[in-house]
Structure 1
Amino acid sequence: MHHAHANLLRRGRFSEPGRLYLITTITHQREPLFQHLINARHVVRQMRQSDYEFASRSLAWVVMPDHVHWLIELQQVTLGTLMRRFKSRVGIALRKAGVPQKRVWQPGYQDRALRREEDVRRVARYIVANPLRAGLVSSIREYPHWDAVWL
């Protein structure tokens, strides 16, 4: 199915190696696929794989039940390539694990380039506090699916 406004997400998108980006991507129909530990760990493995391949350097992330927030420094690929690989690999891993979901992700993703003068640690704290704001836990220590290079 073609989404008439999907191209608007890409308008003005520019991939700059070395730039910091906050990326958000959502599961298809907000299905809470990642509420299950194994499924969430597949997502984490693919973020780490992107780092190993020098596509990105993960600074902070959180895997929520139905979406992912990922703060990266873009490395040797475009944002589009990074996200295509990431989303495809997560989908393949979930299917191999027996998840019957036909579609894992909504089309596209949101990204925001951070300016160098922004407080990157504040952005990272905002990301990892998502489970608290969503009421999933009373302390971030209770939530297993997050990380930040500063913590």
Structure 2
Amino acid sequence: MRRNRVSISGATYFLTLCTNHRNRGLNTPTIAASIRAETGAIEHDRHWHVRGAVIMPDHLHLLAVITGSRSLSRTVARLKSKTRCELAAAGLSWKSNYFDHRLRPDDHVSAALSYLVMNPVRGGLVAATKDYPHVWIGPEETTWFAWPPADDALARPHWLDRG
């Protein structure tokens, strides 16, 4: 676990998990299905609630609420462990560390979700988010989050630019 990493049950975290050497292939159907299945299994086991996610070629973004007593680092370790074989079959592996940002009261969840779901457009993979198969938001978020997001949702949340 990274020094000073805080894991608070009930808190929302923006996570980025990358492949080693930023090798591409996470968004292939088999690997993406494995990642999606395990994020769902972790949610089913009540360790987190995924508010949104996108599987890019070389990284995964998750916006998740820690819902159980398991730490964030242990939950991420489970995801990496359970998807390791699918990645290895394609010559990929997870980078050992990951980025996390705990959203604070002044951080807007909508900005984080917009950034996350617009990643495939910014990355040049599709012209519109609705055309990318590996992006999803939680059922509760569909009641208030504009889906698909407008083009002006390309702004980065301010906390992504912090050191």
Q: So what's the TM-score if we normalise by structure 2?
A: 0.80
- Provide the aligned length of Structure 1 versus Structure 2: 139
Structure 1 residue 114 displacement after superposition: 0.2
CA distance in 2, matches of 1:134, 1:33: 14
- The question of 1:136 aligning with 2:125 is answered yes
- The question of 1:80 aligning with 2:80 is answered no
What residue ranges of structure 2 are gaps of 5+ in the alignment? 143-163
Structure 1 residue 30 displacement after superposition: 1.1
Which residue pairs with 2:114 in the alignment?
125
Match of 1:69 among 61, 70, 81: 61
* Secondary structure in 1 matching 2:133: coil
Q: So what's the TM-score if we normalise by structure 1?
A: 0.86
CA contact (8 A) 2:84 2:93 kept: yes
Identity rate of aligned residues, in percent?
Answer: 28
- The question of 1:36 aligning with 2:28 is answered yes
1:36-73 Cα distance to aligned partner (Å, 9 max, x none):
11211111111111100111000011000110000000
Which residue pairs with 1:91 in the alignment?
84
Structure 1 residue 94 displacement after superposition: 4.2
Structure 1 segments of 4 or more deviating over 4 A? none
